[in-house]
Amino acid sequence: MGPLLRRTLGVFTLGMMMLAVPGAQAAPDLKAETEQGRRIAETVQATVAAVNALLAHPHAPPHANTFFVLRRAGDWYVYFGWLEKDGSRYTPALVMTAPAGKLEQMHQMNGAGSSAKLTAYARAVSFAQAQAAKATGDRHLDPVLFPTASGIDVYVIQGGPMHDAIRLGGDFLFHFDAQAKHLRAQVRFHKAVIRVPLADPRLPSGKTVGSYHTHVIDEEPTATDVAAAILHPALAPMVVIGRSGAAYRVDATGAMKLEPAFAATADVPLAAQDGGVVLAPAEALPANAR
């Protein structure tokens, strides 16, 4: 997937909730992106559960500058620890764990020690976050770590809502070797970071209940689009317009369908078939799309 040259975004009014077209067929070629997006969202949810568990039982904060999440044998492990400045050693200060599907049981685990593998994971996460922050100017980012058979993959996505808004875009995928000493490839899914307000007096409902954006180079929704729709229900239903003009609907479960009821160009706000209104706030559009 190439980086996007331009992206436009709008927010739905409540009238746009009837977008589904009877008989619309699921796009089978989107299954991989759907499943990966769900995995990304689940990993972020595990991080949130660990932080919430820490806040519910306050004690001395861990000596940490790097965190990441691993899923092993059906359990989540959330590591908070210290990576030496030269990346030579990662020392876990605190590890939280919970069974998959039971994040409410998140609790502290004892006896976690340093290892070459954990150090490699921390090195990959630290580098990926630093690169994403440099590119976007934003440090409120969530790393999502996936060890692979041949190396380490790290997604970096925008963090949770801030100041009554969700930030969409500015997401990356970094491919490392198994020791995280060499960056093999870097993918930037969305060039811009767009602020999507959770409340807007211009909307009849007073709040955002859906979103759309256009892809100029990528045709289909990305795994990070799917994760955003799951993690931030206000963005769903999310409609993604591919460069061919085809529209894809992503719901809050991450499920995707081709949406023939939509038709738009990159620069023209969409008009709903059912008469609902779509707003494209000027401040949400890149300068070259206004």
Question: Is residue 74 situated within a structural domain?
Answer: yes
Give the per-residue pLDDT at 282: 31
Residue 2 covered by a domain: no
86: which 2 tokens? Answer: 């030269």
Instruction: Determine contact, residues 153/176, Cβ cutoff 8 Å.
Output: yes
Q: What is the pLDDT of residue 147?
A: 97
The model's pTM is: 0.80
1 belongs to a structural domain: no
Q: Report the DSSP pairing between strands 238-241 and 211-214.
A: parallel
Q: Cα torsion at 132, 138, 139, 142 (round to 10°)?
A: -60
Whether residue 187 lies inside any domain: the answer is yes
Q: Structural domain of residue 33, as residue ranges?
A: 9-289
Beta carbons of 63 and 83 less than 8 angstroms apart:
no
| DSSP labels, 233-266 | GGG-SEEEE-TTS-EEEE-TTS-EEE-TT----S
Q: Which of 171, 172, 123, 170 is nearest to 147 (CA)?
A: 123
Res 192: pLDDT: 75
Residue whose C-alpha is closest to residue 85's, from 60, 66, 61, 68: 66
Rounded Cα–Cα distance for residues 236 and 232 (Å) = 7
Asked, for residue 99, whether it belongs to a domain, the answer is: yes
Q: Mention every residue, 6+ apart, whose C-beta is less than 8 A from residue 277.
A: 13, 15, 16, 204
Residue 137 has φ and ψ, to the nearest 5°, of: 75, 15
Q: Any idea which residue has 């790393």 for tokens?
A: 143
Q: How many domains does the chain have?
A: 1
Helix (H, G, I), strand (E, B) or coil at 227: helix
**Has residue 59 been placed in a domain?**
yes
Q: Is residue 4 part of a domain?
A: no
In angstroms, what CA-CA distances link 83 with 63, 68, 80, 94, 183? 10, 12, 10, 13, 18
Q: What's the CA gap between 289 and 241, in Å, rounded?
A: 15
pLDDT at res. 120:
97
Q: CB atoms < 10 A from the CB of 276, how many?
A: 18
Tell me if 3 is assigned to some domain: no
For residue 218, give the H/E element and its range. none
Q: What is the pLDDT along the chain (290 residues), one digit of tens a residue?
A: 333 222 334 443 322 222 333 334 444 468 999 999 999 999 999 999 999 998 887 666 678 999 999 999 899 999 999 999 999 999 999 999 999 999 999 999 876 788 999 999 999 999 999 999 999 888 889 999 999 999 999 999 998 877 778 888 889 999 999 999 999 999 998 877 877 777 766 666 666 667 777 776 678 899 999 999 999 988 888 888 887 878 888 999 999 988 776 654 333 333 332 222 233 333 333 333 32
